[in-house]
Structure 1
């Protein structure tokens, strides 16, 4: 257990999720605190948010690399392909615009255009999460139905009793194999739905407050952190 925790905290993704969890708990604590205690929790929340920005500073490289890979594929005519392209393009622009204001956030080089740039960055973040959510919902609804229809059609074409029985066994096996994929899609839908609250609140589109933001951050962080924990 301790060795596993050590591997988790020494991985970049695991450490970032740990800091995000602490930040979300500090955000919740602000709601139930007053006076100097609330100021301390607010400061901790802001400093943790700034620290986490360094973990995603070069995130635009991976995002645009994914965009390049999608553009070179033949499957760009599909709806999932276009949703992925839009998602990673928006993520790349979000990371890039956010990076432009890092010196301002560190109080190293203050610029008058920081708020305008961050507003555009958060807008692209909202769009990226929306496209990710749409892609997961599409895959959950339509991919599963297409696969089920294909399996049913193949099953009907089997006329020999032995083959039909074999196909039935294979269908049950395939359904069991598809269960983790379905669970992953549902989990991603929940994570994206929770994360959408943050840019929507920052943009003033949905002023939910610190408590809702903190609770949704805790849920999405625990779900994503759990998957990282399994991998390390």
Structure 2
């Protein structure tokens, strides 16, 4: 168990989830505590860990745009599921880029006057990306098998249910888990944008749930 935990926290993804779990736990406790001094300390912990986690996703736009490029080169416009995925990774890429632009400001190195509006736009794209992810998961559950039939080589791609060979689809359990995770995380940009304020306790609690769900997949791989 100790060796497993060591491999988990020494992996980039595992360490990020560990920091996220501490961050959201501190957020919930800070909101519930009656001690103002402890609340200030825990809020500082939350903010510092949130900043630390930004470094883990600093180059996240590269993977997002690569996925977007792969969809454009394959069948991003050939199906509803493909269109949703294309929109999702485009929004994720834009979110990462805009957030990266404010990193020096967040670090206290170089303050800029446009920090707040840029972060509002970044969080808006994050909200859109998570919404598309939830929509894509629901679509895949309902219509995924029919869209994931193998297609013949060539410019004309036909789907013939009798002749086509099914492509390995994402298990329903994984899709449901992803819908739950993204649905929980949706509350974060909604709170940050003040579109649907739910409070630190609710946001922090849903962050704990989504973190544990994604962490268990990483735990199984290490």
**By the TM > 0.5 criterion, same fold?**
yes
How many residues align? The count is: 205
2:74 is paired with a residue whose SS is coil
Unmatched runs of 5 consecutive residues or more in structure 1: 148-152, 155-173
Say which structure is richer in helix. 1
Match of 1:211 in 2: 201
Deviation at 1:31, TM superposition (A): 1.3
Q: Distance in 1 between matches of 2:15 and 2:9?
A: 5
Per-residue displacement from partner, 1:48-87 (whole Å, max 9, x unpaired)?
Answer: 0000000000000110011111110035310110011000
Match of 2:129 in 1: 128
Q: Distance in 1 between matches of 2:196 and 2:52?
A: 25
Per-residue displacement from partner, 1:149-171 (whole Å, max 9, x unpaired)?
Answer: xxxx97xxxxxxxxxxxxxxxxx
Match of 1:20 in 2: 20
Alpha carbons of structure 1 residues 183 and 10: separation in structure 2 relative to 1, 3 Å: same
| Bigger mean CA deviation after superposition, 32-41 or 190-199 | 32-41
Unmatched runs of 5 consecutive residues or more in structure 2: 149-160
Deviation at 1:32, TM superposition (A): 1.7
Match of 2:107 in 1: 106
1:115 matched to 2:116: yes
Query: Which structure has the larger Rg?
Result: 1
Q: Distance in 1 between matches of 2:106 and 2:86?
A: 30
Q: Distance in 2 between matches of 1:225 and 1:141?
A: 26
Higher RCO (CA < 8 A, seq sep 6+): 1
| Aligned alpha-carbon RMSD (Å) | 1.8
Q: Distance in 2 between matches of 1:146 and 1:71?
A: 17
Contact 2:181 2:214 in 1 (8 A): yes
Contact 2:79 2:147 in 1 (8 A): no
Match of 2:31 in 1: 31
1:112 is paired with a residue whose SS is coil
